[in-house]
Amino acid sequence: MAVPAAKTLVKIDDTRGSELTVKVTGYQWKWQYEYVGEGVSFFSTLARPSDEARQLNSGIAPTSVENYLLEVDNPLVVPVGRKVRVLITANDVIHAWWVTDFGMKRDAIPGYINEMWFNAEKPGIYRGQCAELCGRDHGFMPVVVEVKPQDEFDAWLEAQKAARQAALAPAARAAALAPAVDTTVDPATTLRVANAE
Domain boundaries, the chain: 2-172
| pLDDT tens profile 2-43 | 777 777 777 777 788 899 999 999 999 999 999 999 999 999
On the question of pLDDT at 190 being above 70, the answer is: no
For residue 183, the model assigns a pLDDT of 58
Residues 6+ apart with CB under 8 A from 34: 22, 23, 25, 40, 41
Supply the pLDDT for residue 186: 61
Rounded to whole angstroms, how far apart are CA atoms 94 and 134? Answer: 6
CA pair distance 15, 49, nearest whole angstrom? 36
Q: Rounded to two decimals, what is the model's pTM?
A: 0.82
Q: What was the pLDDT predicted at 42?
A: 97
Q: How far is the C-alpha of 164 from the C-alpha of 158, rounded, in Å?
A: 10
With a CB cutoff of 8 Å and minimum separation 6, the contacts of 134 are 26, 28, 29, 93, 94, 95, 141
Per-residue pLDDT at 193 exceeds 70: no
Tell me the CATH class for 2-172.
Answer: mainly beta
Percentage of the residues of the chain whose pLDDT score is greater than 90 = 73
12 to 6, 33, 83, 107: CA distances (angstroms): 10, 22, 12, 15
pLDDT at 192 over 80: no
pLDDT value, residue 100: 94
For 103, left (φ over 0), alpha (ψ -120 to 50), or beta?
A: left
d(CA 161, CA 191): 51
pLDDT at residue 177 in the model: 72
CA atoms within 13 A on the CB side of 156: 16
At residue 81 the predicted structure's pLDDT band, cuts being 50, 70 and 90, is very high
Going 159 to 161 to 167 to 171, the CA torsion angle's sign is: negative
CB atoms within 10 A of CB 152: 15
